[in-house]
Chain A
Amino acid sequence: MTTHREPHLYAPDEETNVVADKQGELSDQDRAHRALLNFIKDSDFRTANYFEACIHCGLCAEACHFYEVTGNPQYTPIWKLEPFKQAYKREVGPLSVFYKIFNLKKKVTTEQLEQWQHLLYDSCTICGRCSMICPMGIDITSLILKARHAMYQAGLVPQDLWDVSKLQEQGGSPMGVTAEKLKETIAGIESEYGVEIPLDQAQADVLMSASSAELIRYPKTLADIARIMKHMGVSWTMRSDGYEASNYGMLAGNEAAQRAMSLKLIEAGMACKAKTIIIPECGHAYGALRWEAPNLYGRPLPLKILHMSEFLADAIQAGQLKTGTTNKSITFHDPCQVSRRGGAVDAPRKIMKALGVDLHEMPVSGDLAWCCGGGGGVYSIERASHLRFSAFEVKMEQVAESGADELYTSCSDCRMNFDSGQEHFDWDKQAKSLIELVADNLA
C-alpha cells in the first residue's frame, strides 16, 4: 500500500503555463474545427457513457502520479478531458440541444486546446491507474488517447513528440532506423555477440519485431533473443519490410500513422507466413499491436500477437524452453501497457518463478503498479522532464522499499526512463531486461 507523500512541487503557474507548440499554418478557427470534428468522431457509445457517468468526485487525482508529486489539481485526470467532454456535451450528447441553444457549454477554442496540450501530453503517461480508481468505472486512459486524436488533427502536439512521430511515419522508425540501418545494426550485433539473427526469411513461424530503443540503446537484448530462439529451435525471422514495433503515431494521436505502422508489421508477418508476431520488450508497442491494431485493421488479425514475456512464459510452461536457476534478489517493474493495460501481469512472474528468482515485489505492483513516469510519449517531451523526474522519485522509493538487489523490467521505453532517472539522480540502480535474465540462465 502506498503511503501518502507530501507533494512538493505545486507551483501551478510555473508548471502548467507552458507555451503550446503548434504545427502547420492553420488558422485558430480551423484548428478548433478540426479538433471538434475528431471529438465528435470519437464520441461513441462508450465515450458517451463515460462522460455521462462522471460525478466530478475527483478521486482519479488520487491515482495519478503527477498529482501525487505536485498536488496540482490541474493534473486531475478527468480534468485533462474537459475540452473533449465540453465538445461531447455541446455537440453529441442527448442534451446537446440545450447546451448549444443556451450556450451552457462553450465552443472549444484553439486557445483552450493550447492550454490543455500540457495536460493531455506532458502530464499523462497513459498509465491507466486513474481507470482503476474511478468509482464509476470510467476508463479515463482510453479517453485521453482519443482526445489526442483531436489534438493531432488540430496541429497541437508537443513538438518533440510530433517530430518523433513524423520521423517514424516517414522513415519507419522513431529513431531513424531505416531498413538499411536495420541490416547494418543486425550485422553489427551478430558480429559483436556471435549470434545469428535471421533476416527476411521467406517463411518462418515467428516474426520478431524490435523497437528502435532496443536496436540502438540495448542491442544485447536482441542478441539475447537470438540466443533464446536458437536454444528453443524456433523458426523465426526479422523482416526489413516490417520490424518497428514502437508506435509513436498512437502516442501523438496520429491515427493514420498508427494504422500504417501496425499494418507494416501485420503484412510482414503475413508475407513470411508467420503464425505469431512477437512484440519485443516495449510496452506501448504491445498495446498498439495486440489491442488496437485489429480495430484499425477492421477485422481479427490472421496471426497471433504476443509480448516477449508471454512468449517466454508460454514456452517455459510448455517445456519448450528449459532454464537454469539463479538466486538473484530481484524486484520487477511492471510496464503499464503490458501489465495494467495489457493483462499480462502473470507472464514475467511465471518466468521469474521458473528461474528461481528471489522476487521482492514493490509496495504496489502488478495491476496497480506505479508508472515509471516516462510512458505515453512523455519521455520524448523535453519540457516535461521535471515532471517526469518527480514521478520517477516515487518509483525510486518503491524500488528501495522492495529491498531487492537488482531491478528488472520488460519494456525498453521504461528502461530508457530508468536510465535517464539514474543519471539525473545519480541512482545506484539500473533497470535490466528480463530477456537478458532468461538468456543468461538458459539450461
Chain B
Amino acid sequence: MELLNFAKGPAMQFAMVVFAFGVSWRLFGVLMLKWPSDFSEARGNSQIVGALRMMALRSWPHKEFLPRTWYSEVLGYTFHIGWFVVFLLFVPHIVFIEAVTGLSWPGLPGWAIYYTSLITALALLAVLVRRLTNPVMRMIANPDDYISWFMTISPVITGLMVTSHIGLPYETLLAIHILNVAALMIWFPFGKLMHAFFIWTARGSTGAVFARKGVKVQ
C-alpha cells in the first residue's frame, strides 16, 4: 500500500513536473533559434495551407513508397493507435484523468482494452525485432531508441499484468504500472518521444517551403 501511495502521489507529481518543465524547455530551446527568412518569390500558394496540408497528408504514405514501407507503416499505426486507445479509453485511466483534470468521457469495455493492449504489445515487440534485424534501422539506432521503446512498452505489459492479476499482488502490480507511467513521463522530454510535438513543426516547416515553391505537398 505504501508503494502504491508513493506511486500515485509523489512519484506521479514529480513525473508531471519533469514532463511539463522538460517539454517546455525542449520546445522553447528550438523555438528560440533563428527562424530562416525566405525572400524568394512565392509561386502564389499559401504557405499556411501548405504547412497544414503536409501535417495532415504526410500521415499517409504515398502509394509509390507503400510496397516498400507497408510493414513499418502497419506496425507504427498499430502500436500508436493501440497505445492511445488503451491510455485514453480504459475506464480506470479516465477516472484518473478526471481526478487530475476534471475531464471525463466514455470508455471501452475491459475485454476490448485487454485485446488492444495485447495487440499493441505484440506490435511493439515486432518493432524491436525489426530494429534489431533490419540493417538500416540497426545502424542508425542509438540508446534513445531502445530506452524509448522500453518506456513505451513497459506500461502496456504491466497494465496487462494488472488486469490479468498475474505475478504479484494486485496493489503491487498497480504501483509498478503507475511507476512505469511516471518513468515514461520523466523520460519523455529527453528522448525521441518528443516527436509527438516535433512531427508537427517539422512537417509544417517543410510543407510551407514546398508550398512556396509550388512543390506538391503530400
Residues of A bordering B, CB below 8 Å: 1-4, 43-46, 48-50, 52-59, 61-63, 67, 73-74, 76, 78-79, 92-95, 98, 131-139, 142, 290-295, 297-301, 304-305, 340-345, 364, 366-368
Residues of B bordering A, CB below 8 Å: 25-31, 33-41, 43, 54-55, 58-59, 61-65, 67-69, 72, 76, 134-142, 145, 190, 192, 194-195, 198-199, 201-207, 209-210, 213-216, 218
CB-based contact A52/B30 at 8 Å:
yes
CB-defined A-B contacts under 8 Å, sample of 8: A1-B63, A2-B67, A46-B35, A56-B145, A61-B136, A136-B203, A291-B213, A364-B64
* Complex Cα spacing A341 to B216, Å: 10
* Complex Cα spacing A371 to B190, Å: 38
- Given the complex, which residues of B lie within 8 Å of A53, measured CB to CB? 195, 198-199, 201-202
CB-based contact A58/B140 at 8 Å:
yes
- Given the complex, which residues of A lie within 8 Å of B43, measured CB to CB? 343
- Given the complex, which residues of A lie within 8 Å of B216, measured CB to CB? 345, 366-367
Chain A nearest Cβ from B15, distance in angstroms = 18
Contact of A44 among B34, B69, B210, B215 (CB under 8 A): B34
* Complex Cα spacing A78 to B198, Å: 16
CB-based contact B205/A340 at 8 Å:
no
Known: A44-B36, A94-B25. A138 touches B206 (CB 8 A): yes
- Given the complex, which residues of A lie within 8 Å of B40, measured CB to CB? 290-295, 300-301
* Complex Cα spacing A131 to B58, Å: 11
* Complex Cα spacing A59 to B76, Å: 12
- Given the complex, which residues of A lie within 8 Å of B145, measured CB to CB? 56
* Complex Cα spacing A299 to B37, Å: 9
- Given the complex, which residues of B lie within 8 Å of A1, measured CB to CB? 63-64, 67
Known: A56-B141, A344-B214. A299 touches B39 (CB 8 A): yes
CB-based contact A137/B202 at 8 Å:
yes
- Given the complex, which residues of A lie within 8 Å of B68, measured CB to CB? 4, 62
- Given the complex, which residues of A lie within 8 Å of B204, measured CB to CB? 137
CB-based contact B192/A56 at 8 Å:
yes
CB-based contact B64/A368 at 8 Å:
yes
* Complex Cα spacing A95 to B190, Å: 8
- Given the complex, which residues of B lie within 8 Å of A300, measured CB to CB? 39-41
CB-based contact B36/A45 at 8 Å:
yes
Chain B nearest Cβ from A152, distance in angstroms = 19
* Complex Cα spacing A293 to B72, Å: 39
- Given the complex, which residues of A lie within 8 Å of B218, measured CB to CB? 132, 367
Chain A nearest Cβ from B54, distance in angstroms = 5
CB-based contact A298/B39 at 8 Å:
yes
CB-based contact B140/A45 at 8 Å:
no
CB-based contact B215/A367 at 8 Å:
yes
Known: A4-B68, A45-B30, A45-B35. A50 touches B62 (CB 8 A): no
- Given the complex, which residues of B lie within 8 Å of A304, measured CB to CB? 41
Chain A nearest Cβ from B151, distance in angstroms = 14
* Complex Cα spacing A411 to B215, Å: 18
Chain A nearest Cβ from B202, distance in angstroms = 4
- Given the complex, which residues of A lie within 8 Å of B26, measured CB to CB? 52, 94-95
User: Which of chain B's residues has its CB closest to A3's CB?
Assistant: B67
* Complex Cα spacing A300 to B42, Å: 10
- Given the complex, which residues of B lie within 8 Å of A344, measured CB to CB? 214
- Given the complex, which residues of B lie within 8 Å of A93, measured CB to CB? 29-30
Contact of A294 among B36, B41, B140, B192 (CB under 8 A): B41
CB-based contact B62/A133 at 8 Å:
yes
**Top 8 A-B residue pairs of the complex, sorted by shortest distance between their CB atoms:** A94-B29, A343-B214, A137-B203, A53-B202, A53-B198, A294-B39, A58-B136, A343-B213
Choose among A43, A45, A94 the residue with the greatest number of B CB atoms under 10 Å from its CB.
Answer: A94
* Complex Cα spacing A139 to B68, Å: 20
* Complex Cα spacing A137 to B215, Å: 13
CB-based contact B72/A59 at 8 Å:
yes
CB-based contact B136/A135 at 8 Å:
no
Chain B nearest Cβ from A160, distance in angstroms = 28
Known: A57-B72, A61-B136, A92-B33. A52 touches B198 (CB 8 A): yes
CB-based contact B206/A139 at 8 Å:
yes
Chain B nearest Cβ from A143, distance in angstroms = 11
* Complex Cα spacing A299 to B61, Å: 36
- Given the complex, which residues of B lie within 8 Å of A45, measured CB to CB? 30-31, 33-36, 205
* Complex Cα spacing A137 to B61, Å: 11
Contact of A139 among B35, B194, B201, B209 (CB under 8 A): B209
CB-based contact A94/B202 at 8 Å:
no
* Complex Cα spacing A46 to B141, Å: 23
User: Which of chain A's residues has its CB closest to B208's CB?
Assistant: A46
* Complex Cα spacing A74 to B139, Å: 8
* Complex Cα spacing A170 to B140, Å: 40
Known: A3-B67, A45-B33, A298-B39. A136 touches B199 (CB 8 A): yes
* Complex Cα spacing A366 to B62, Å: 13
Chain B nearest Cβ from A353, distance in angstroms = 18
CB-based contact A295/B39 at 8 Å:
yes
CB-based contact B34/A138 at 8 Å:
no
CB-based contact B203/A76 at 8 Å:
no
CB-based contact B64/A49 at 8 Å:
no
* Complex Cα spacing A4 to B59, Å: 23
* Complex Cα spacing A134 to B195, Å: 13
- Given the complex, which residues of A lie within 8 Å of B199, measured CB to CB? 53, 135-137
User: Which of chain A's residues has its CB closest to B24's CB?
Assistant: A94
CB-based contact B65/A62 at 8 Å:
yes
Chain A nearest Cβ from B98, distance in angstroms = 32
